[in-house]
Structure 1
Amino acid sequence: MLHRPLLFSLAYRMLGSVHDAEDIIQEAYFTLSETSIEQVQNPKAYLCKIVTNRCIDLLKSARKKRETYVGPWLPEPLIIDTEKDPEQNYMMKESISTAYLLLLEQLSETERAVFLLREVLQYDYEYIAEVVGKSSTNCRQIFHRARKAVGNHRASDQIPTPRAAALTEQFVTAIVSGNVNKLLSLLAVDATLLSDGGGKTKAAVLPILGAERIVRFYMGILAKFTEDFSYKFTTVNGDPGIILYVENKVFGVLSLHIQNGLIHQIYWVVNPEKLTHIK
């Protein structure tokens, strides 16, 4: 599957789902295998078109389900290990952070497709127009509108710096030891915690705003946590994070968005349906 990294990069950014992205890619290659060579002059472009349109269809069909989702919605965590899987280097060329994917959620299905095809894959407007069924002029307008909505967010700290990794270790250690003062020193005053349980497990159904409230949240969890647990540090969507295990099973994935030496956003995914691909 020569173009798989590129196709996964597109599908995952469109959907925020590892499972759905992989399923759509498999379907695209199957469609290609069933198509005569005469009909396909450019396999890469053909596959991108299939993947883009399947993603648009899936997003439209999932819209109502997303509207009734319990609590904050976060993308399925993507565990980045470029040493074990060099193909994932492709994912790191542009931002794949949770913050970036949440910005893309502001866009309609077509806006997201046009934006990613242009911004990430660098396709010209004539090709994008063919993919999404709009004129090239319209696609140009859609792109500029989408870019304005997303802002100037670019890939940053794609591979956590030693300082960011050290700060993450300090954060986790402070939680486990119940060191309130240390936690407060690591968090920005206006830090935000988003917790995604999807109604499947206990999680905060509203964003938790402010360092002091976040600390109280974690201290409350720690007081009730009696199970055998362990964790490992990793890279989640290009940001430093951890995988938490309870009785040797994946329980949750946490990632931190760090700016100017402080934690500004915490993303906590505990919806079991979003963790089945993680070991």
Structure 2
Amino acid sequence: MEEQARLFEQHRSLLLGIAYRMTGVLAEAQDVVQDTWVKWSRAELAKVRDARAWLVTACSRQALDVLKSARRRRESYCGVWLPEPFHETTEDGGPVAAGVDESVSMALMLALEKLSPAERAAFLLHDVFGHEFDEIAVILGKSGPACRKLASRARAAVQAARPRFETRVEDHQRLLEAFLKAAYAGELQELKSLLAESVEMRSDGGGKVSALPDIMRGVDAVARFLVGVMHHRPQAHEGRRLVPCRFNGAPGILIHEGGRLVTALTIDVEAGRIQAIYAVRNPDKLRGLEGV
């Protein structure tokens, strides 16, 4: 059992990364990893040829089951749904690379929501985690060519929903800091200069705290809204504390008011402007970032 536990811990962060990208909810991903451990602890280690392949297969199948039921719940979600912020580490428990990781970005996670569970699994396992299609075929219970088609369809849908772009982490950080400074200072024109004309803002309150009821679009509407809630709202300045935190593969900011974490905020950057703003406010989705 000691060797079994060692092998599982060696792959725990990999399994959590797969489960999170599959489900978009950290709590569900952690449950998937725990269920995988239960199954692994009952396996006969002498009969396992490849521990990593065994664990990835079990984890992926469990995540697929969770995703299928979660899709029905999200149809009745109150307001805009955003993925739970993911504060990721490497397989040895260390910090992730300092660059921008598109494989877990808010934009990609939202694009993945439009895929079928099988398409999502095939795309993630092949394009993100580098598995061959014959391996994916075993996991999904389909043929290799069928899995190739699933991944191809998913790739096309993801690219159509969110074209890939390169952003230097320094530019991302600079724009995030400038954005917050302008919004809190009430500098409307400065804030507008940082936003793309087609900027979109999403906020997820889960029906538990105030948030936008729908996606807000357009530089003027978004800028005026942000100045209203971050400059003119008195609560925004009471005990305010801004904590830099890398989550979902990019720099973000944790906003504390009155001694508690109220918002995890991050942005998408394209062509030197802020293209999208994501504000997670649902208290249930902020628990994993408390104490960060």
Instruction: Give the alignment's TM-score, normalised by structure 2.
Output: 0.88
The residue correspondences of 1:190-229 to structure 2 (distance < 5 A) are 190-222=198-230, 223-226=232-235, 227-229=238-240
Decide whether aligned partners of structure 1 residues 241 and 90 sit closer, same or farther in structure 2, where only a CA change above 3 A counts: closer
Q: 3-state SS of the aligned residue for 2:288?
A: coil
Structure 1: distance between partners of 2:127 and 2:277? 26
Q: 3-state SS of the aligned residue for 1:35?
A: coil
Structure 1: distance between partners of 2:109 and 2:130? 18
Question: Which runs of structure 1 show a deviation greater than 6 angstroms over 4 or more consecutive aligned residues?
Answer: 90-93
* Stretches of structure 2 lacking an aligned partner (at least 5 in a row): 1-8
Aligned twin of 1:21: 29
Decide whether aligned partners of structure 1 residues 37 and 211 sit closer, same or farther in structure 2, where only a CA change above 3 A counts: same
Aligned twin of 2:87: 79
Post-superposition CA distance 1:84-124 (Å, at most 9, x none): 95253499766211001111111111111111111122212
Aligned twin of 1:184: 192
The residue correspondences of 1:104-253 to structure 2 (distance < 5 A) are 104-151=112-159, 153-154=163-164, 156-157=166-167, 160-161=169-170, 163-222=171-230, 223-226=232-235, 227-253=238-264
Contact persistence 1:129–1:139 (CA under 8 A):
yes
Share of identical aligned residues, percent? 36
Structure 1: distance between partners of 2:165 and 2:12? 21
Post-superposition CA distance 1:39-83 (Å, at most 9, x none): 42211111111111111111111222100111111111123578x
Decide whether aligned partners of structure 1 residues 81 and 217 sit closer, same or farther in structure 2, where only a CA change above 3 A counts: farther
Higher helix share: 2
> Matched residue pairs, number?
276
Aligned twin of 1:48: 56
Decide whether aligned partners of structure 1 residues 224 and 90 sit closer, same or farther in structure 2, where only a CA change above 3 A counts: closer
Give the superposed CA RMSD: 2.2
Amino acid in the other structure paired with 2:187: N
Q: 3-state SS of the aligned residue for 1:86?
A: coil
Post-superposition CA distance 1:188-219 (Å, at most 9, x none): 11110011111111000111101110112112
Please tell me whether residue 3 in structure 1 is matched to residue 48 in structure 2: no
* Stretches of structure 1 lacking an aligned partner (at least 5 in a row): none
Q: 3-state SS of the aligned residue for 1:169?
A: helix
